[in-house]
Amino acid sequence: MAAPSAEERALLERGVRAVLSGWAALQLAVAQGFGGPQSPEKAAWLVGAVLEFLSQNPELAEDEVEDFLAEVMDNEFDTAVEDGSLQQVSRELLSLFTRVREGDVGGVGEALAALARRGPALASALANARPGHAPDPASGHAPDPAPLSPGTSSEEEEEAMECGTPPAPPDGWTLVRRRRR
């Protein structure tokens, strides 16, 4: 297949941007700074990287796109996506790419409209993901995270670990820490 025309590339870029901006795992990783202080820049870079990946590999299978996205999320955002969204995002990206390649501008427009309708729900969900732990817009910093178990300070947790009796977490998960030498 020949390289996409400028119009096809612009349409595909709009589609990739819409799919990625609607991907809750990526948006949460960016909002929480999992990619470090450059998280927003990495998300913007990802749009171009996906666009290039799709354009250079026109016969991709869904699992190849999943692998690419999983590797980027792991390497750039230190995030393992295990919520099933990799499959959905990969399917949406390949669908858009196929529609653009076939010249189905109407189909791409419908897909973009559906993604736009999904956007406000995602924004609301992200805003409510961790009430009270959102970044302070005035300072640009997030408040310190809550202790792992209610009523337990990190000093108490360290003392308990040194004694060999870790505190019992209320949610049933066991925290494993490396011992200090």
| 139 domain-assigned | no
| 156 domain-assigned | yes
Do both 18 and 107 map to the same domain? yes
Do both 154 and 124 map to the same domain? no
| 138 domain-assigned | no
CA dist., res. 19 & res. 67, Å (int): 17
- pLDDT, one tens digit per residue, over 37-85 is 999 999 999 999 999 999 899 899 999 999 999 999 999 999 999 999 9
Do both 94 and 167 map to the same domain? no
Do both 45 and 112 map to the same domain? yes
This prediction has a pTM of 0.64
Q: Which residues pair with 136 in a beta bridge?
A: 141
pLDDT at 161 over 80: no
| DSSP structure string for the chain | -PPPPHHHHHHHHHHHHHHHHT-HHHHHHHHTTTTGGGHHHHHHHHHHHHHHHHHH-TT--HHHHHHHHHHHHHHHH-----SSHHHHHHHHHHHHHHHHHTT-HHHHHHHHHHHHHHHHHHHHHHHHSSTT-S-BTTTTBPPPPPPSSTT--HHHHHHHHHHT-PPPPTTSPPP--PPP-
| 137 domain-assigned | no
Do both 151 and 117 map to the same domain? no
Q: What pLDDT score was predicted for residue 150?
A: 41
Q: pLDDT-derived band of residue 7, with 50, 70 and 90 as boundaries?
A: confident
Going by C-alpha positions, the residue among 82, 48, 47, 43 that lies closest to residue 66 is 82
Do both 89 and 165 map to the same domain? no
| 142 domain-assigned | no
Do both 114 and 70 map to the same domain? yes
| 136 domain-assigned | no
Do both 94 and 178 map to the same domain? no
Question: What's the number of domains the chain is made of?
Answer: 2
Domain assignment of residue 164, given as a range:
147-181
Do both 115 and 78 map to the same domain? yes
| 50 domain-assigned | yes
